[in-house]
Amino acid sequence: MKRAEQRMEDTWDLSDLYRDLETWEAAFAEVKVLAKNFKAYSGRLYEAPETLYEAIQAKERAERMLSNVITYARLKHDEDTKNATYQSLTSRVEALGSEYGEMTAFYAPELMAGDFVKIESFMDRYPPLAAYRFYFESLFRSKPHIRSEEIEHLLAQTEEMASGASNAYGMLLNADMTYEDAVDSEGNAHPITNGSYIPLMMNEDRELRKDAFTKYYANYEAHINTFAALLQTEVKKNIFYAKARGFKSAREAALFDNHIPVTVPDALIEAVHGKLDSFYDYMKLRKEVLGYDALHLYDIYNPIVESVDFKVTYEEAQKMTLGALKPLGEAYGEVVENAYQTRWIDVYENEGKRSGAYSWGTYDSRPYILLNHKDNLDSMFTLIHEMGHSMHSYLTHQTQPFVYGHYSIFLAEVASTTNEALLNDYLMKTIDNEGRKKYIVNHYLEQFRGTIFRQTMFAEFERDIHATVEAGGALTAEYLCSHYLELNRKYFGPDVVIDEAIQYEWARIPHFYYDFYVYQYATGFSAAIALSDRILNDGETAVNAYLDFLKSGASDSPIPILRRAGADMETEVPVQEALNRFAEVVKTFDKLVKNS
């Protein structure tokens, strides 16, 4: 389907940002003016507390408008990545962001050149500045990693160039890659796209799954050297910026802003290694229930509960997700219902549309959701997942000032996955059909597989490839493929045939361009298990604590924000509890399918 053929009600309404390209162009021009005017504060930040406050306000005005301009361009581009007009917009906003960075490069070094004692005296003398206390504390924490104005200016000039690998990867993946149709056991052709691949892997027709798997990864194999060059460039970029700012490693640099020690993702990896036996048990059970002599990697997505018709239309998904979110209160539900009715969401796939799903907006706009909805259970979980992100953003924006009107990536996956846990509980309580209940338990196990085990494998791969380059090695296609293949063998265990084609899978994972993001899916899922249990079992007190978490934004470090909500990620408890829960559910499912 072409973009123009989509029903308007199934597309997002971006008028919160700009009603048309003309108003966007005016804002684009104004950002340059605001950035230029901000340069007037250079050398004056410690002139007086009032001057510092004015400078911060001016910077915020420019950043808010820049965020709106960039977000509109990116959302329009993602509607149709083949559209030349929107390709041009994204190129222009990248240049604008670089230009803005150059014009404001003096700010952090000049502020850092002073003493925090002086800032404290300013806050005492001028109360409006006191609202920025945590902001100042966090900024001065970064002082050892802020460079001179000249170097900051130079680093700002590199930003547009630094996005080159990620942009090229996105165009190759979403706009240029095409696939031969997969053929099912009856000879019917099925188009393969990035959006249709996983639904094809969930199909009950094993011949279709095998053919789709083979043809999909054959295309990645044909481009694998290009993908390797892009990923190596991205990794070298991360290492360059880490060294430029005096960090010991790219990973330390990536985790610094969130106050997360590198021991957290390392502990996650070690904890999962310690529980791989329970994952092997699940793979063995899958093999037995399916009745296969050999379980292949194209057999790990399809439901292992036979003959269950579980089609979920988008309209049905809306109703069920609203029911699942009732424990969070009437006000929360009203906002979600309004989101469904007022076009926060771009629902269906069209030619050139970006694959996957996300929630993205600005402080001044609604938090938009991009979907590529299929009428299945997985898409309903994707909907409620992304709505968790959007509600986190919405409540943060409603509660916090602009300076704290975002949240760390460490917290980002908690809200989304808590929503998924609530949906799982709702479905188990409201569905009477035993076959569908088994299907839901299977889906729950698949959430663990995809969110804890799979994302931890990705985190280990990401850690290893950065360490390889930091030690002087090269990310050749041969190394990337062989190492990824070995990780699959480690994680899937003895009862899964590790098909050689899976060695190319790393090339289809866009999150490897997100700079150490993936481990947070696993930590977020673990925290969500703890928080959803509290919401369902402890009532109003737990709900209020959770809603306070959603409203906290960046007003504190993520670890204490999450601890107040009921999950202490500085301990091993949430991750171990989640892994223990998985082991219990595997045993329960084993009994369920064998006794039916």
Domains and CATH numbers, the chain: 3-158 (1.20.140.70), 178-222 (1.10.287.830), 311-399 (no CATH)
- CA 540 to each of CA 394, 492, 512, 535: distance values in angstroms, whole numbers, following the listed order: 21, 41, 39, 8
Per-residue model confidence (pLDDT) at position 596: 66
pLDDT in tens, 174-187: 889 999 999 999 99
- Residue entry with tokens 């504060």: 41
Q: Rounded to an integer, what distance in angstroms lies between the CA atom of residue 556 and that of residue 549?
A: 11
Q: Rounded to an integer, what distance in angstroms lies between the CA atom of residue 546 and that of residue 38?
A: 39
For the chain (596 residues), the mean pLDDT of every run of 10, in chain order, is 93 95 97 95 97 98 97 96 93 93 91 93 97 95 88 89 94 92 98 93 95 97 97 97 96 92 90 94 94 96 79 96 98 98 97 94 97 93 97 98 94 92 93 85 90 96 98 97 98 97 97 93 91 92 97 95 90 87 90 78
**Residues marked as catalytic:** 386
> Residue 30 is which amino acid?
E
> Which residues, in sequence order, are CB contacts of 89 under 8 Å at separation 6+?
24, 72, 73, 76, 77
- CB count within 10 Å of CB 270 equals 13
> Residue 323 is which amino acid?
G
> Which residues, in sequence order, are CB contacts of 303 under 8 Å at separation 6+?
202, 204, 310, 439, 442, 443
In terms of DSSP bridges, do strands 182-183 and 189-190 run parallel, antiparallel, or are they unpaired? antiparallel
Per-residue model confidence (pLDDT) at position 83: 92
Q: Rounded to an integer, what distance in angstroms lies between the CA atom of residue 63 and that of residue 410?
A: 23
Per-residue model confidence (pLDDT) at position 273: 94
Considering the entire predicted model, what is its pTM?
0.80
Per-residue model confidence (pLDDT) at position 401: 98
pLDDT in tens, 282-328: 999 999 999 999 999 999 998 888 767 788 999 999 999 999 999 99
Q: How many CA atoms lie within 13 A of 499 on its CB side?
A: 17
Bridge partner residues of 497 (DSSP): 296
- Hey, what are 447's tokens? 């959430």
CA 256 to chain centre: 18
> Residue 214 is which amino acid?
T
Q: Rounded to an integer, what distance in angstroms lies between the CA atom of residue 576 and that of residue 538?
A: 21
Do residues 465 and 475 touch, judged by C-beta distance below 8 A?
yes
